[in-house]
A = this chain, B = another copy of it.
Amino acid sequence: MTRINTHTNILNHLKKVISLSESEEQEFTSILEEIKVSKKNFIIKPGDLVNSEYYVVSGCLEAYYLDESGDKHIIQFAVEDWWISDFEAFFNKLPAKLYVETIEDSILLGINRDALEVLYSRIPQFERFFRIKTTSAFVSLRTRILSTLQKSGKERYLEFCEAYPKIEQRVPNYHIANYLGLKPESLSRIRKEVI
């Protein structure tokens, strides 16, 4: 039963951008690997070889870097309909530097890099899909960098709530503070101000 639902989600996700025939949809779903992970477990750890990127069917995850002092730096959150991985490791075939960890029980669909390459050559529409998705991710990352330069903590928090409403309600306060580069007490103060 779950299998049908998970595929429905990702197919609807694709259909927002590209049109596929039924056989192309089947070819795509045949390469997906369904993974169920309970909360507070790792999908990726530093040093891992990363052969897949992951579409989130349900749940919530974070990708972060632990520096030498043990300080955590959250690079990305992901909820339903998002993609997550250590993308640097995935695309450049390098050992992972990030942790990717579940914040909630999660169901993911993994796509293997080699299977994806075959898919690109067989169904060029996927080139379009991932071009548009990657462009969007690239632009979001640039926007985030600019926001840290130009906007106040309050503005950045409001921007975050607008961009990621599903995340704001599900992720502990100190995780969001970390992502936004704020102290937890500053974020608490901001949250009281904007309610």
A134–B124 CA distance with the chains assembled, in angstroms: 17
**Which secondary structure dominates where chain A touches chain B?**
helix
B124 pairs with A87, CB closer than 8 A:
no
A41–B172 CA distance with the chains assembled, in angstroms: 47
A142: min CB distance to chain B, Å: 5
| Interface presence of A150 (CB below 8 A) | yes
CB neighbours (8 Å) of A145 from chain B are 75, 141, 145
A65 pairs with B138, CB closer than 8 A:
no
Contact with B along A124-157 (1 / 0, CB 8 A): 1001101100111111011101100110000000
| Interface presence of A21 (CB below 8 A) | no
B91 pairs with A135, CB closer than 8 A:
yes
Given the known inter-chain contacts A128-B127, A150-B68, please indicate yes or no for A139 contacting B92, CB distance below 8 A. yes
Residue from B73, B87, B120, B149 in contact with A138 in the complex, judged by beta carbons closer than 8 Å: B87
- Given A88-B139, A131-B131, A134-B134, output 15 extra A-B contacts at Cβ < 8 Å: A65-B149, A67-B149, A75-B142, A75-B145, A87-B142, A88-B143, A91-B136, A91-B139, A92-B139, A127-B127, A127-B131, A131-B134, A134-B135, A137-B138, A138-B138
